[in-house]
Amino acid sequence: MNDWLGLHERAALVAGAGGIGAAAALGLAGHGARVTVTDVDEERLAALAEQATEAGLSISTRAADLTDPQGARALVNETAEAMGGLDVFVHAVGINDRRPVLETPDDVWERIIDVNLKSAVWSAQAAGALMVSGGYGRIVLLSSVSGLLAHAHHAPYAVTKGGINQLCRVMAREWAPHGVTVNAIAPGYTETDLTRAYLDKPGVREGMVGLVPAGRLGTADDLVGPLLFLCSTQSVFVTGHVMYVDGGRTLV
């Protein structure tokens, strides 16, 4: 195996077994990392484990609710103990609910903030504590172009992604002296379970494609290469960076 990325036998934890999380986990495992994936949905975890087996890869799974601070920290610590350490942490947990600001109730705000932002705080904090102590680590958080652009009907989602960007930057500044990098991947319009129903509405897909200079929507696989780089030893001097993987969407 050509281990140019330095991922062979690295202990990696991926939070989120959906489209992007699954692609990240399979990409890391395909480059020799020892991967554990966590998600609140046990059926989704089972499907990913089966997909990995069919691809000749091995991925461990652990069901957990990362919106609970104690549960999130326990999951990270228990996974690290089982794997003999933690080198890589990827947070790919997210939900959205598209409504105008004036029509977004309190419970929707609270749920999106809990799932998208607080789960990243609790889990990345626990991962960072282990990595700082060990003198090495790679943390990658999933952001979005919505953290930069003012998309209508995306207020809670956009707020959490803007928060992810700043969380990434502050953690990166604090942990850089300890050999730990913290970066974010910000996808553009990407075809996943989170966006499928919305994209299927009349005219939506065409309208979104028209805003992307590359002339198409993104896929989860488009994110794997950039993500693997940020998880690798090759990104040793890259930290606090929000990498837009958007086909040029943020240029328009």
Closest by alpha carbon to 152, among 205, 101, 88? 101
Helix (H, G, I), strand (E, B) or coil at 215: coil
In the residue annotation, 244 being an active-site residue is answered as no
Catalytic residue chosen out of the listed positions 157, 189, 198, 244? 157
Furthest-apart CA atoms within the chain: distance in Å: 54
Q: Are 86 and 80 in contact (CB under 8 A)?
A: yes
Given the structure tokens 């889990």, which residue do they identify? Answer: 123
Q: Are 5 and 234 in contact (CB under 8 A)?
A: yes
Q: Which residues pair with 183 in a beta bridge?
A: 140
d(CA 164, CA 149): 14
Task: Name residues whose C-beta falls within 8 Å of residue 194's C-beta, 6 or more positions apart in sequence.
Answer: 18, 19, 94, 95, 96
Task: Name residues whose C-beta falls within 8 Å of residue 174's C-beta, 6 or more positions apart in sequence.
Answer: none
Work out the number of other CB atoms within 10 angstroms of the CB of residue 56: 8
Closest by alpha carbon to 241, among 139, 149, 130, 111? 139
Catalytic center residues: 157
